[in-house]
Structure 1
Amino acid sequence: MLERFVYPLSQRISMALWGIGSAPRLSARWVCAVAGLVGVLLGGCASLPDQVVRRYSEAHRDVADSALARIAAATLAETDDPSTPAQRGAVSGLRLLPGGDDAFEARLALVRAAEKSIDAQYYLVADDRSGRQFLRGLADAAARGVRVRLLVDDLNAGATKGLLAEFASRDNVELRMFNPLPVRTGSLHSRVLLSLHKFDQVNRRMHNKLLVADNSFAITGGRNIADEYFGRSKPANFIDMDVLIAGSAVHELSEVFDAYWNSALAYPLQSLIDVQRMAKNRPAVEVSLPIEFVPHAAQDDVERDGLGAQLARQRVQLQAARVRVIADAVAHPEPRSPDVAMREGSVMRANLDLLQSARQEVLVVSPYLIPMPSMLDAFDAASAGGARISVVTNSLATTDEPLAHYGYARYREKLVRMGIALYELMPVNDPRIDNYSGAHQGSLARLHAKLAVVDRRWFYVGSMNMDRRSAHCNTELGLVVESGALAGELVDMIHREHFDASYSVRQRLETGGIEWTVPDGGQDLRMTRDPVIGWAQRIGWSLLSSLIDEDYL
């Protein structure tokens, strides 16, 4: 196991990207300065092009004659929810997409039905079956004459540049990279290392996830485009949540997309690489687009038909809701405030306001949870108002980010002492949860959904984790929704799917500290350390996490 902690030089220095040196905080500046100097020495004069031609464009507004616009209008005219105090005309319609297969089918259904435009932005589009099928769907739409705009964060795109170049070489396709690293070749670690002379720039990543078809329907939430987000990967898949939207909120999401698309941080791929030359060396993206993995007669987790079948019938099953679209600014606010709270993005601030408004119940689901003072204050305010607070996150055995987990572990006992009911997802190979639906195709289930439900009336869904990186570094996108029906559906789903499949983290009254409990044969099985994980892993990740600023875990 020791090889996991023996980093090559590039990996060690690239960790400065995430803010090495939180104790004391002054040393973080030292390390960043040294890492930046190393980056300058090793990266030379690596820089991005100065003269970049960005053709300005906006979302199509003249879409009323498209099939998707007609279906959206007809659906919304029939959508009613007396529990939602929304005025007709301002209401949107939503549908939860908890299942990975249903979420992927919905994306392909919108892409296939689009007639005028498709706008998409993602942190990650992988070179795997899901990524290739998604891009092939976009390419087929472009071949029909649909304008396709795709914005991808650059950090992980080095491994997919051939695939992206082949896609970008097509007619009616525009592909831009968000905040590209100055160094364009090499592995991810070497690119980060050699780009550290642009530290502030490199550290601003676009974490948004959005697909808009004909400015009529949109999908947003927590999923990137990769097999593990749609239940198609081994050994691990993510448990996640997206929403399908129609109505006024879609136009607001299109405005968010336009702001990112037309920003100075969005570089046409042609300005960074020779697209045509690279495309010639890459086979065409996968031609077939089978939906063979859609289970249960193409129905979702609550036995609704898949979106493709509903579009064919000219009606989509949606719930009426009041929706507020929230998105972070494209670039860091300037000047950078020394007050960390002032650097919180719009999405985090909206979440904290939502939590503080609670009077009965707060339910938070986040794969990575590293509380900051304002987050703890929000929990305190909700508790003082009479709300019961429950939080679900990954255990050390299920997380894909052990360093982030140990950032959270520093606050675990404090959260429990505050009276918060804390749950950590169990690994699926625990014999008590063999039938847990979050485990797909025998894979380990890892939590990736980002949700907050308040008083069974309001909820947040989007791309933002409840951690400091999401608050201070990444750009995020999300929705705050008022709908008693959907909020209740979410609460019931979380209780059904997550609580029984999680360890309950409690205070250990006899000796102090915390313990993990799980029902076992009519009584609680109690554990006094992180379950499943061995001592060497616990010590190793704990020591590494202590070297990294919590803002960047």
Structure 2
Amino acid sequence: MTNRLSMLALVVMLGLGGCAGLPSGVQRAPSQARHDVADTSLAQIAAQSTPEAQQALSGFRLLPDGAQALEARIALAQRAAKSLDLQYYQLAHDRSGWQLLRALRDAAARGVRVRLLVDDLYAAGQDAMLAGLAALPNVEVRMFNPLPVRDAGFATRIVLSLHQFARINRRMHNKLFVADNRIAITGGRNIADEYFGRADAVNFIDLDTLATGPAVAELSAAFDGYWNSEHVYPIAALQAAGFDPAAATQAFSSAADAVVFDPALATTDALGRSGVAQQLAEGRLALLFAPAQVLADAPAKADERGPGADGAVAHRHAELVSTAREEVLIASPYVVPAASSVTAIKAALLNKVHYKLITNSISTTDEPLVHAGYAKHRMALLKMGVKLYELMPLAQRAAARDDAAPRGSASVGRLHAKLAVVDRRFLFIGSMNLDHRSARSNTEAGLVIDSPALAAEVAGLLQRDRLPESYRLRLADDGRIEWISQHAGAEVVHRDEPHLTVAQSLKQWLGQQLVDEELL
């Protein structure tokens, strides 16, 4: 596939007669996380929420509900006094994106230093918006691994940047929000309506965790490594000649003033807890304390000259799974297991571990090409002893529960959480999918938390809500795969992959023949 893409890139370059490039001699003023924050409200709340005996541990609180996850970010931005550091793969030009951007603008107006780092892949058409924010006092915006083509749509930018394919194929997939270097949010959610249960058609099932304590300082240090790397470009350096910062700022503020933050739709989340905004107002966060390891790939993983080995996050994830002695429970929206993952799975199964893996079905995935790559491995995983589950579409989930509708938002559809629970003690939560792209091409981040209490909460969410709403796969006596669902309390056996059309089946086959798994 790489050779085919190289040939296509050559054709494109010849046809264009010239190619766009990135500016040279770009100045990147270095900066680091602020440490003079002990007198801030958020620092004091974090301290008051931490018992004396837990000072050496980090505090955590899961954010399972989309509405509260957005509310938490807005509340932290509104309370920040000295710094806000944000790092995202996607920041959409929609209601949720603009509400967060407005909160950042308002924080900067209070004197808060704002550093916003965004991967450039999905930022098509956002230059003016982001440049308008960056032109404000106290704000810096930088783009990670920017595409050379700025003024075009998503597909056009990709095609016209293929002469730099080895570079643009490597993306920053991290998700991080740090307020006053004392409270952080990290996990699987990007900033877009579908990650917060606000899209009309399809939303993502996802999970973040709020963190305090030593883990936050490590997350901030990882952010600084990206912020000061050669892979980032200030948004102002990417603007065309004649760019008018004053006009961009005026347009940004007009758009930001048009949005109003909506409060969370529920007073309690799936775990029965009140929202972060309410707890901040009360001066104390309800946290579970545990030792944690912060994982972050180096920005150099995105270097086209860098090694093709697994990154630090994928390596630690595989290492964690291989040490299991009783049970592994994994959720990943995209599964195309690399060699390291297969080795880890085999190691766990040799120890007679119960290994359960939940992912999207063909009817719930938003990446059918990746699903085709996964389908190639399905039989082998089942033969190894992995218990596979694929999330059902909406109507089937209702039938499986014998309910009028599935739990949560009526438009909830796709799994996006990236989780691993090992021996009901260790929890991995982060941005990494179980695929080649996360292992080798994209930069990723995550946490490994040694907490039976947190592990039990995540396992409970998956076992109670997601596995019953999923097809259970098994090998039939004739060697074929069967998909098992429930209807009105009775087992239903599907001999063919549910909802797979002839056209989809053809596309899967073509994808399997033409696309190198390293690109998935």
TM-score, length basis structure 1: 0.89
Greater displacement, 381-390 / 238-247: 381-390
Alignment of 1:118-517 (within 5 A): 118-273=84-239, 274=243, 276=245, 277-280=247-250, 284-287=254-257, 290-292=260-262, 294-296=264-266, 298-332=267-301, 336-337=306-307, 343-430=309-396, 431-432=398-399, 433=401, 439-440=408-409, 442-509=410-477, 511-517=478-484
1:185-210, Cα deviation, whole Å (9 max, x unpaired):
21221211111111211111000000
Cα displacement (A) at 1:334:
8.1
SS of corresponding position for 2:126:
helix
Distance change (3 Å), C-alpha of 1:469 and 1:73? same
- Given that 2:125 and 2:151 are in contact with CA atoms closer than 8 Å, whether structure 1 keeps it comes out as no
Moved more, 354-363 or 535-544: 535-544
Q: CA deviation at 1:529?
A: 1.9
Structure 1: distance between partners of 2:433 and 2:405:
23
The corresponding residue for 1:68 is 42
Q: Say if 2:63 and 2:207, in contact at 8 Å, map to a contact too.
A: yes
SS in 2 for 1:403: helix
User: Deviations along 1:141-171, whole A, 9 cap, x unmatched?
Assistant: 0011100000000111113223222222211
Task: Indicate yes or no: 2:518 matched with 1:548.
Answer: no
Which of the residues 458, 467, 485 maps onto 1:518? Answer: 485
Cα distance in 2 between the residues matched to 1:358 and 1:344: 20
Percent identical among aligned pairs is 48
Equivalent position amino acid for 2:274 in 1:
D
Structure-2 separation of matches of 1:436 and 1:495: 18
Q: Is the 8 Å Cα contact of residues 54 and 268 (structure 1) preserved in structure 2?
A: yes
Tell me, in whole angstroms, the C-alpha distance in 2 between the residues paired with 1:125 and 1:132.
9
Q: Secondary structure at the match of 1:303?
A: coil
Distance 1:448 1:68, change over 3 A: same
Give the conservation status (yes or no) of the 8 Å contact 1:422–1:505. yes
**Structure 1 pair 282/69, CA: closer, same or farther in 2 (3 Å)?**
closer
Secondary structure of 2:427 counterpart: strand
Structure-2-length-normalised TM-score: 0.95
Q: Which residue of 1 aligns with 2:9?
A: 36
CA shift at 1:38, angstroms? 2.6
2:418 counterpart letter in structure 1: K
Shift of 1:288: 6.5
CA–CA distance in 2 between the matches of 1:529 and 1:283? Answer: 53
Aligned length: 511
1:453 counterpart letter in structure 2: V
Matched letter for residue 323 of structure 1: A
**Secondary structure at 1:68's aligned position in 2?**
helix
**What does the per-residue CA deviation read over 1:76-130, in whole Å, with 9 as the maximum and x for residues that have no partner?**
126x7xxxxxxx4430000000110111111011101100000001011101000
Aligned mates of 1:159, 1:527 — CA distance in 2: 44
Asked if 1:528 is matched to 2:495, the reply is yes
Q: Which residue of 2 aligns with 1:537?
A: 504
How far off its partner does 1:51 sit?
1.2
Q: Give distance in 1, aligned partners of 2:259 and 2:281.
A: 18
Greater relative contact order (Cα 8 A, min sep 6): structure 1 or 2? 1
Question: Is the partner of 1:326 in helix, strand or coil?
Answer: strand
Distance change >3 Å, CA 293–CA 70, structure 1 → 2: closer
Following the alignment from structure 1 to structure 2, what is the Cα–Cα distance between the partners of residues 166 and 284?
Answer: 11
Tell me the alpha carbon deviations over residues 60-85 of structure 1, each in whole angstroms, 9 at most, x when there is no partner: 0111011111111111126x7xxxxx
Q: 1:303 Cα shift?
A: 2.0
Q: Which residue of 2 is the match for residue 55 of structure 1? A: 29
Kept in 1, the 8 Å contact 2:204–2:414? The answer is yes
Output the amino acid matched with 1:57.
S
SS at match of 1:284: helix
**1:451 shift after superposition:** 0.2
User: SS state of the match for residue 302, structure 1?
Assistant: coil
State whether residues 427 and 444 of structure 1, in contact with CA within 8 Å, keep that contact through their aligned partners in structure 2: no
Q: CA RMSD in A?
A: 1.8
The 3-state SS of whatever aligns with 1:504 is strand
Q: Give the letter for the 2:413 counterpart.
A: A
